[in-house]
Amino acid sequence: MIICNIAAEIDSDPETLKKTIEGTKVEQDSKNIINGEHFRVILSEGSTVYTLAVNPLGIHLDSKGNDITWNMDCEIKTMVTEKDG
């Protein structure tokens, strides 16, 4: 088992972010997640590639190679805040 903690602070265009949040009709493991604002992590172990993409609402796509039915054992937390200044 691999344990990996990843944190990111992302500065997004407020209008693009608003469209992503308001227009989200994406379900878990849908490739449509990559059409809006998202954060993606790609890890490899030998010839196996693992991908995790998460949008601001915490909806995510995880895959092992091309298999999007594979599910990562993960906990995802997201938060959208106003930018100071």
User: In the chain, where are the structural domains located?
Assistant: 1-85
What is the three-class DSSP state of 16?
helix
Q: What is the pLDDT of residues 43-70, one digit of tens each?
A: 998 999 999 998 888 888 899 999 988 9
C-alpha span between 62 and 30 (Å, rounded) = 9
Average pLDDT, integer, range 17-33 = 66
pTM of this structure: 0.73
Output the pLDDT for position 27. Answer: 62
HSE value, Cβ hemisphere, 13 Å, CA-based, for 38: 22
CA distances, 63 to each of 21, 23, 25, 81, 85 (Å):
23, 24, 20, 28, 38
